[in-house]
Amino acid sequence: MAFRKILSAAMLTVVPAASLAMTTPADASSRWMYKSSDERASAEWTEYGELNGVEGNVHVGFLEAETSSTGGYAWGKVIDYYCEEGEVPGGGGHGEYSTEEWEEEPTCDVMSYRWMEGGDISFTIDRKLNTARLTGTLYVDNHGSSATPPVDMTWTGFGELSQYTSYEKGTEGDSTYTYKYESTYRQAEVTGFIGAMGFTDDADDESWGSIEKTKTFERGTSR
């Protein structure tokens, strides 16, 4: 009887210890969350004709500007082509081409490829996405040759506001996550200039623009 009592007491002291070991660090987890918002305007354009100080006679460009803690940030690129009469980058008639065609089957000679980046600039955008404006100077690099042309671009929104939402929830290994992206945007007319290039100073100028604000939310748990 004495032996049985001692054995039972020993078992009672072991079980709680084992139970405690199973409920400690193995169940610990870390949580994280990220939020951001952004306001931006973008423009694409084609300028026909020669420009002072620039190679080629057709100039295809893209620029995006966004708000930042320092007042604004902008970046973009311009491809300068030389096209024979009746030719446009990518082939086809006037205005009958796409960005993909420029890259795959250019019928014009590429003269230069210029990168643009925000230098001393100011970018403002109205909360209802009616207007946006970029002013100041841009830094332009062409394979080591640089310039700082002035910029004054205005986006004027038109048409209805559009909205886009993307939502995702899933698991990767020991982590679970939730991701949500919201965008509100509208089309915009682009006016103004970058250096010698004006958006509306010639009848054959072509440009497209948009104004947008976005929100991003991410949340996750990892073990």
Q: What's the pTM value of the predicted model, to 2 decimals?
A: 0.73
> Splitting the chain (223 residues) into consecutive groups of 10 residues, what average pLDDT does each group show?
39 40 56 91 94 90 86 90 85 41 64 89 92 95 87 96 95 91 96 92 88 94 88
Q: Which residues of 71-87 are buried (b: 16+ CB within 10 A; e: fewer)?
A: ebbbebebbbbebeeeb
- What is the per-residue DSSP string for 45-76? EEEES-BTTB-SSEEEEEEEEE--TTS-EEEE
Q: Which residues contact 80 (CB under 8 A, 6 or more apart)?
A: 54, 55, 56, 58, 59, 110, 111, 112, 113, 114
Q: What is the pLDDT of residues 158-209, one digit of tens each?
A: 999 999 999 999 998 889 999 999 999 999 999 999 998 899 888 888 999 9
DSSP single-letter state for residue 28: -
Q: Which residues contact 14 (CB under 8 A, 6 or more apart)?
A: none
> How many C-beta atoms surround the C-beta of residue 215 within 10 A?
14
> What pLDDT, on the 0 to 100 scale, is given for residue 120?
86
